[in-house]
Chains A and B, each alone.
Chain A
Amino acid sequence: MNIHEYQAKEIFKRYSVPTPNGYVAFSVDEAVQNAQKLGGSIWVVKAQIHAGGRGLGGGVKLARSLEEVKSLATEILGMTLVTHQTGPAGKLVQKIYIEEGVDIADELYLGVVLDRAKEMPVLMASREGGMEIEKVAAATPEKIIKVAVDPFIGFQAFHGRELAFGLGLAKEEIGNFIKFAAALYKVYMENDAEMIEINPLVKTKSGNFVALDGKMGFDDNALYRHPEIEAMRDLSEENAAEREASEFGLSYIKLDGNVGCMVNGAGLAMGTMDTINYVGGSPANFLDVGGSANAQTVAKGFEIILQDKNVKSIFVNIFGGIVRCDRIANGILEATKLVDVHVPVIVRLDGTNAKEAAEILRQANIKNIITATDLGDGAKKAVAAANGGAL
């Protein structure tokens, strides 16, 4: 689960990770009031969406008067922001963050993520703040300093020193930086974060470090022990169909093709998409029905797939393990009574009781249901059906 910048900064503040003062606003009037509350003569108006690259997309702007706060808030609230992380459709800006200006001496980068190879959290720092860190990593990997922290010992001062000296900080800055990094590590561990990214991390003219931005993602498996973080979930940032699916225990992701897919297991679901591509077609979605493919989940799956008007055929690919295929076949037949499935459905059931399942489908003799013998056969038939070809 991801959260907004303003929410990440609320968490930072609880851990004494320095951030500029600011308030979130849902309207232009509120934005101006927030600026007045903050005082000063310079403010930053920032679009709050779950995507990076907001500045380059025109979603972060500097205001030097309350009038300017008003005009920028008017401009940014309600705009569709397109960045390298939103996709071409962009994201609607529904809230903005009004933040006090900061005197910037230097812009750095600091992040914490899990290093899968080392199996421990790693802090990553770079002097190349403000840039896309992926580009820095690709072009000049030596400019990124990485320090892994063994969770058995936690963050120690030496971890901080390795980062600070690696960055080439001045003597009087090192203590401040180590304190900042230690606090950020604590934020990461105590909240079961999946990733934290501060880009830029600002060094002020007085040698202090301030989180000018804040991105946080969390381990979904650990949300049960953080109700206060779960409460930060912004459903408007999530795809409606994907959300609906998840409420029924289905994992759905919409794609651009015309062959709908319904599969059990994430790996086989991806493998099915790959096979559709391999035989010259294009998958309309990823859909993992999980371990329990019953009439209700299959019906819901059909419903969600058919909301996509591009779908011209559906490939149901189930490898029955503990769940027997004959039961799944009955589930599919029942589902077709619950939902009006108006496109050809190609069904491949393999595994436990596959023969019985094929017989059930054959006897039901529903004109839209076509059986397939294996994965390759099913994919070919589904692609042919989607393209209006003969079966």
Chain B
Amino acid sequence: MSILVNKDTKVIVQGFTGKEGSFHAEQCIAYGTKIVGGVTPNKGGTTHLDKPVFNTVLEAVKATGATVSMVFVPPSFVADAVMEAADAGIELAVIITEGAPVRDMQLAKAYAVKKGMKTIGPNCPGIITAEECKIGIMPGMIFKKGNVGLISKSGTLTYEGANQVCNEGFGITTAVGIGGDPIIGLSYKQLLPLFEADPETEAIVMIGEIGGDLEIQAAAFIKEHITKPVVAFIAGQSAPKGKRMGHAGAIISGSAGTAAEKMAALEAAGVHVVKSPAEIGKKVAEVLKK
């Protein structure tokens, strides 16, 4: 079992024939992901990586029955691509592209919600169900199959966390990189209940960052609805106030969105909070061996 995607999930790639899209689609295919085609306007009817290319998402969905789209189009075209996917009946769009304007994402996200399409990202590593389906840019080999679900705003901390869990002899059910932009798709609050309901997931790792209040919302949700153990780390405890640390999400102004505030809220909700990402694996091992 897993959440959202598995070995049978049919995936198309928007921005299939571009440099990034090609490279990562090839990696996903090698991992075993069922990539059934791609979309590049004006290249419909051709094949790429031995898969059919379509001019529109609608054509691709009709011909392949794809339910998930992996979006690699350049930042200025992301909103258009996401709205097109939503309109064509795609169920989940995984938006890898970095640098999409916030105003565009407001509209794209709102339209996706209206059409009932889930989104992950933008500016994220994607989603992976270990040893079944990788939709994104993460190094597949570090995700061994196991019983831990992982949700992270940061890409490299996703890898760090998953790697530690696997080094401790455990493994991953599904890992989701939700991204740290101001407007993102699925967040902790929507993903936690999916892991709670997944019979194979026995513990959840949650990696957050300074900025915004998604982790605070997650804490309130965990307290009410999550019975599985949650291990959390919040990056940016040592970040100076008012400084932007790479991600647009990593902004702190005043007291709102600080690491201390988030860690306190999570602790109060019964979450096992670690102060360094180097402790994630050990803490997971500790809670699972109880």
Q: Which residues of A contact B (CB under 8 A)?
A: 85, 114, 116-117, 119-121, 134, 138, 150-152, 189, 192, 194, 219-222, 224-225, 251, 253, 255, 263-271, 273-279, 283, 286, 288, 319-322, 350-352, 374-376, 379
Contact = CB atoms under 8 A, between A and B. Distances in A.
A270 B276 contact: no
A56 B60 CA distance: 61
B262 interface: no
Contact of A277 (B141, B154, B157, B237): B237
Best-buried of B100, B141, B214, B276 by chain A (most CB within 10 Å)? B276
B166 to A, nearest CB: 12
A151 B107 contact: yes
A298 B168 CA distance: 31
Contacts of A267: 152-157, 180, 207, 209, 235, 247
Contacts of B163: 319, 350-351
A269 B278 CA distance: 13
B147 to A, nearest CB: 22
B243 interface: yes
Given A266-B180, A267-B153, A286 B239 contact: yes
Given A275-B276, A322-B137, A375-B278, A269 B103 contact: no
B154 A265 contact: yes
A278 to B, nearest CB: 4
Interface of B: 27, 75-76, 99-104, 106-107, 109-110, 125, 137-139, 141-142, 152-157, 159-160, 163, 180, 182-183, 207, 209-210, 212-214, 217, 233, 235-240, 242-248, 250, 253-255, 259, 275-279
A31 B105 CA distance: 43
Nearest to B159: A319
Given A265-B155, A320-B139, A278 B276 contact: yes
28 contacts: A114-B102, A116-B182, A119-B110, A151-B106, A192-B101, A219-B101, A222-B103, A253-B240, A255-B238, A255-B240, A265-B156, A265-B246, A266-B180, A267-B153, A268-B156, A270-B209, A270-B210, A270-B236, A270-B239, A274-B275, A277-B238, A279-B276, A286-B243, A321-B159, A352-B139, A374-B278, A375-B277, A376-B278
B187 to A, nearest CB: 10
B245 A253 contact: yes
A138 B163 CA distance: 41
B239 A273 contact: yes
Contacts of B138: 321
A134 B236 CA distance: 21
- Lowest 3 CB-CB distances: which A-B pairs, in order? A267-B154, A266-B246, A265-B156
